[in-house]
Structures are given as structure tokens and as C-alpha cells.
Structure 1
Amino acid sequence: MAKATLEQWRMFKAVVEHGGFAGASAAVFKSQSTVHHAVQKLEAALQVKLLEVKGRKAYLTESGKLILRRAEFLIDEASKIESVAETLSEGVESTLKIAVDEVFPQHLLYQALAHINELYPLVKIELIESVLTGANELLTNAAADLAISSIPIYGINCHTLCNIQFLAVAHASHPLHQRSEPLTFRELKLHRQIVVRDSATQTSQDEGWLGADMRWTVSHLRNSIDMVSQNFGYAWLPSEQIQTHLKNNTLKPLNLEQGTTRTLKLYLMCTDNDRLGPVGQAFTQQLLSLCNNEQN
């Protein structure tokens, strides 16, 4: 039998977060005496002093700091259990939000969505285009149920989808194509590079080699392709998305000493697979199957 209740742990955490019993009282919608009594019962049950009150402020003891770290994990897990139960009780989810890195092959995405439409025609699908860590941020902030990203998040459900090949290219008439010898990165620095900006707002990183002194930064991959196709600069672009430009010789691969091609691995992620409803589960299974068949 547990010595403390989940409600007591939540009140204890609220006191710490709000700096005292008055602030905690307002946050948890309980009287100040109720919150104070709950913490006292918690300390008595554990036989450990958790807080020291100085004036109107409550401070964690050293033991309290250790206990709080464990309590936060307990509270978080309880919240997840409640979310899973809510999902199960509601049945089929009404909306599925998917954050997708722009480099992911669209034909695979559309095939997976077509499959979902057949199974659940009334479900709303929200696709959110992202770049680099943008999908991660949306998933972490619960703005997306699933995320397709090139940067895996440690500690959550993460499935490998596919590898994307990038090719260093420029317009066929670009000066970089006039040299017969392989190009060095030093020579690349003398020309404009088109870079795709990370769509994350909190932590971001731009896409590609960033050594160029002249650089234009854009928000979407399609802008980068358009600019390179119109001879505004060079870039590393997904080879699958520029096949038409390569076949009609609008774009040509750069003759680099090294690094002409590079490979990016994409992942499908969700924070908790148990919290996905049947639509999210079906989409995950179908997309993994499509990617697996594509590679075999």
C-alpha cells in the first residue's frame, strides 16, 4: 500500500513551482490549509522533511530535491495513463496531426494518407510542413501526434523510415561548371549558396554546408530548388525532387573533390505509441510498410 497519494504529490509539486502555499492553493484550486495539510501528511508518511518555510516562501530541502525528481516522473506517468485512457474511451480520433520534413518523399506520404482515407474517411488530417528540428519541436510541444524528422529524439518511439540522398547541384550555366578540375570547398566559398532555414522557433540549425561567404537563406525546400534552377546559386538538394531538372539538364551535379552527395536518414516518431488512436496506429503501420517495400 502506497504511503502517499498522487494528489499529495501534485500539491507538493505545486508548492515548489509557485514558491509557497498561497500560490499553490490558487494553482490547484484548493484552500491553502488543504495544501498545507497534504504536504504535512506527505512528510509524516515518508518521515522526511521536504520543505523549509521562510517567511511566505517554501524552499526544498536536499531530501526534498531528490524526492521531487522522482515525484515529477510519477506525476508525468500518471498523466500519460490518463491520456491513454481518454484515447481508449473516445475510440477513433477525429483529427490526426502529422509534422513532416519537406524532404520526405511525397508519393509515399500520399499513399499512406490514401490508405487512411479508405479506412477512416471522416477523420481530419493536418499536415504541417517542417524543416530539420521543426517537426521535433511540434511533437515535443504536443502540436503534432506524429513527426517525420531527420533528427531522432532520445527516449521516445522512433522508427527508421528511409534514406534521402542529397546532391550538390547548380544551374547548367553556373560558373562552377566551367572548371575541369574537381572543386574544393574553398572555391565554393566564392559563390552564393542557397540554404534552407530550420523551421523550429526555439532551437534551430540551417541545412547544408554553411561555409559560403555569400548565402541566401529560405524557409522552404521548394524555394531553394526554384532559386538554384534560376541560377541564383548552388545547393545540396534531394536528388529525388530534382530528377526532372537533372534529366532536362537545367541542373547539373557539381564536380566536387568530396561531398557531392550525402545521405540523410528519416525517422517516424511519436512521444507515446500507446496514446495513438487507431488512425495514428494505422498510418504508422502503412507508412513503415511502404518505406520498407520501397527499399527492397
Structure 2
Amino acid sequence: MQKTTLEQWRMFKAVVDAGGFNQAANVVHKSQSSIHSAVNKLEENLGVELFLVEGRKTHLTQAGKLLLRRGEYLLEEVQRVEHIAQSLGCGVESELRLAVDGAFPQDVVFSALEKVSALFPQIRIDIFDTVLSGTNELIETNKADIGVSPFPMKSGLNEEICLLEFIAVAHKNHPLHQLDRQLTYEDLKSYRQIITRDSASHTKVDSGWLGSEQQWTVSHLRSSIDLIVQGLGYAWLPTQSIKGPLQSGTVKPLLLTEGAKRSVSFYLNYQDKDLIGPATREFLGEIRLLTLNMPTSEDLV
């Protein structure tokens, strides 16, 4: 028979998160004495001391730090079960929160979402624009249900859906094109490189070659494309996102001896398969179909 209750674990975590018993009382709207009682009962049932109180400061003991990790996992599992039950009870999820890396073709995402909305007109769709590891961070912090990312998640489910081609390009009148020969990375170092910043708050990563002495960093892929079209630098950009400028000849591929093109795997990522409702499953199916025959740079130039 279990000795502890979920409410005791919730109060324990509330004290940790708030930084003290008095602060926790304001957050969870319970009396300080009831929170003390719950935590004291938890300590008594577990046979360990969880907190040390020094003046107005409350500190976790070593045992408290260890049990906090276990307690957080326990509360997350309970929350997950509740979400699953809610999903089963409602039938169709009320909201689809989707995080999409800016390098992934937006027209593909919008086409898939249009199909979802046609089948489930009542569902609310919330789209987050992300860069690099930003998608996975939103999923891990439960701010997005599903994501399209160039990185698989360390935990959770990952499904590789396509390879996207990135190509080194510059405006047709850029000085690099005027050299009229094959280029090396040494040639690139003297010119401005346009880079897109990782949108994650905590686990930022760099991607690709970043060797230029002069760099401009932007927050959105659209800004990077605009700068290239205006002749203000060069960059590796997803072929799908620059179809128009490539076909019109406004931008041209750089004739690099190596590394002119690179392929990046993109993944459908989510935390828990049991939490995926019918509308989300429909979106997954549409994305899989739409990514089967995406064009490469050879098809566009």
C-alpha cells in the first residue's frame, strides 16, 4: 500500500518551484500551514528530511534533490495520463500546436493544415516559427504538440520524413560571381555571410560552415532570403524556399569546389504517441505524402 499521495508530492514541488513555503502558499492558493502539513507528512512517510530551513531561506537536502527528480517524473506521468483521458473523452483534440523550422517549405505545411481544417473545422491551429533546435525545445517544454525539425529529439518519437537540399547562393551581381572561376572556402572568407540565429532559449546550436570574417545574423529565414536577393551577402539556403529567385535568375548558385550543396534530414517529432489525436494524425499523413517528390536545385535552374 502506498504511503504518499499525489497532493503531498505536488506541495513538495510547489515549495521547490516557489522558493519557500510562504511563496508556495501564494502560488497554489493554500494556507502555509496546509503546505507545511503536506510536506511534513511526506517526509514522515518517506523517512527522510527534504528541506533545511535557514532563516527565511529554504534549501533542499541531498535526499530532497534526488527525490525531486523522481517526484517530477511522477507528476509528469499523472499529467500525461490526464491528457490522454481528456483526449479520449473529447474524441478530437481542440487544438493543434505546431512548431516548424523556418527552413522547411511553408507551402507544404500550409497545404497539409488546409486539409486538416477541412476535415476538422472546429480545431484551433497554433503555429510557431522556429530555427534549428527551437522546435524541439518547444516540444520538450510542452508548448508545442508536434514539430518539424532538422534534429531528432533525444527523448520522444522521431520520424525522418525527407531530405532538404541547401545550396550556397548569392545575387547574380555579387562579386563572388564576377571571379568567373570555381570558388573555395578561402574565397568566401572575405565576403559577408548571412546566418540565421537558433531560436532556442537554452540549447542553441550552430549549423553549417561559419568561416566568414564578416557575418550578419538574422532571426528568420525570410530575412536571410531578402538580404541575399538585395545582394548584401551569400548564404546556404533551402532550395525549396528560393524557387522564385533561382528560376528568375535573381540569385545564382556559387560555383564552389566542394560543399556547394548539402542535404539535411528533417523529422516529425513528438513526445508521446498516445497523446496524438485524429487531427494531428491527419496532419502527419498529409506531410508524409507532400514530401515525397519535392524538387531539387537541378529541377529549378
Larger mean Cα displacement after TM superposition, 128-137 or 65-74: 128-137
Q: Return the TM-score normalized by structure 2.
A: 0.84
Whole-Å separation in 1 of the counterparts to 2:233 and 2:286:
38
Q: What is the deviation of 1:222?
A: 3.0
In the alignment, is residue 226 of structure 1 matched against residue 238 of structure 2? Answer: no
Q: What is the deviation of 1:201?
A: 4.8
Q: What is the deviation of 1:284?
A: 1.9
Whole-Å separation in 2 of the counterparts to 1:47 and 1:291:
56
Counterpart secondary structure, 1:217: strand
**How many matched pairs?**
295
Whole-Å separation in 2 of the counterparts to 1:24 and 1:202:
26
Counterparts in 2 of 1:39 and 1:292: CA distance versus 1, 3 Å: same
1:36 matched to which residue of 2?
Answer: 36
Q: What is the deviation of 1:85?
A: 2.1
Counterparts in 2 of 1:123 and 1:61: CA distance versus 1, 3 Å: closer
- The amino acid across from 1:123 in the alignment is I
Q: What is the deviation of 1:45?
A: 2.3
Larger mean Cα displacement after TM superposition, 188-197 or 18-27: 18-27
| Per-residue CA distance 1:52-76 (angstroms, 9 max, x = gap) | 4444544333323222221121112
Q: Return the TM-score normalized by structure 1.
A: 0.85
Counterpart secondary structure, 1:139: helix
Q: What is the deviation of 1:6?
A: 0.9
Whole-Å separation in 2 of the counterparts to 1:294 and 1:239:
10
Counterpart secondary structure, 1:127: strand
**Contact map agreement 1:197 1:207 (CA 8 A) in 2:** no
Counterparts in 2 of 1:122 and 1:23: CA distance versus 1, 3 Å: closer
Counterpart secondary structure, 2:78: helix
Whole-Å separation in 2 of the counterparts to 1:108 and 1:266:
13
- The amino acid across from 2:190 in the alignment is L
Q: What is the deviation of 1:244?
A: 4.0
Larger mean Cα displacement after TM superposition, 3-12 or 131-140: 131-140
User: Mapping of 1:45-60 within 5 angstroms?
Assistant: 45-60=45-60
Whole-Å separation in 2 of the counterparts to 1:218 and 1:17:
34
Whole-Å separation in 1 of the counterparts to 2:128 and 2:18:
35
Counterparts in 2 of 1:283 and 1:256: CA distance versus 1, 3 Å: same
| Per-residue CA distance 1:259-288 (angstroms, 9 max, x = gap) | 111111111222333223321222123323
Unaligned runs of 5+ in 2: 296-301
Q: What is the deviation of 1:29?
A: 3.0
Unaligned runs of 5+ in 1: none
Q: What is the deviation of 1:162?
A: 1.0
Counterparts in 2 of 1:161 and 1:185: CA distance versus 1, 3 Å: same
**Contact map agreement 1:195 1:208 (CA 8 A) in 2:** no
1:167 matched to which residue of 2?
Answer: 167
2:8 matched to which residue of 1?
Answer: 8
Counterparts in 2 of 1:274 and 1:187: CA distance versus 1, 3 Å: same
Counterparts in 2 of 1:172 and 1:190: CA distance versus 1, 3 Å: same
Q: What is the deviation of 1:197?
A: 2.9
Larger mean Cα displacement after TM superposition, 71-80 or 140-149: 140-149
Counterpart secondary structure, 2:291: helix
Counterparts in 2 of 1:189 and 1:98: CA distance versus 1, 3 Å: same
Counterpart secondary structure, 1:232: coil
- The amino acid across from 1:39 in the alignment is V
1:81 matched to which residue of 2?
Answer: 81
Q: What is the deviation of 1:79?
A: 1.8
Q: What is the deviation of 1:100?
A: 1.5
- The amino acid across from 1:60 in the alignment is L
Whole-Å separation in 2 of the counterparts to 1:36 and 1:16:
13
2:298 matched to which residue of 1?
Answer: none
Whole-Å separation in 2 of the counterparts to 1:294 and 1:251:
20
Counterpart secondary structure, 2:162: strand
Q: What is the deviation of 1:181?
A: 4.2
In the alignment, is residue 196 of structure 1 matched against residue 196 of structure 2? Answer: yes
1:106 matched to which residue of 2?
Answer: 106
Q: What percentage of aligned pairs have identical amino acids?
A: 47
Counterparts in 2 of 1:64 and 1:261: CA distance versus 1, 3 Å: same
Q: What is the deviation of 1:204?
A: 4.2
Q: What is the deviation of 1:184?
A: 1.9
Whole-Å separation in 1 of the counterparts to 2:235 and 2:122:
41
- The amino acid across from 2:15 in the alignment is V
2:249 matched to which residue of 1?
Answer: 249
Larger mean Cα displacement after TM superposition, 276-285 or 286-295: 286-295
Whole-Å separation in 2 of the counterparts to 1:207 and 1:198:
9
Whole-Å separation in 2 of the counterparts to 1:223 and 1:20:
45
**Contact map agreement 1:196 1:206 (CA 8 A) in 2:** no
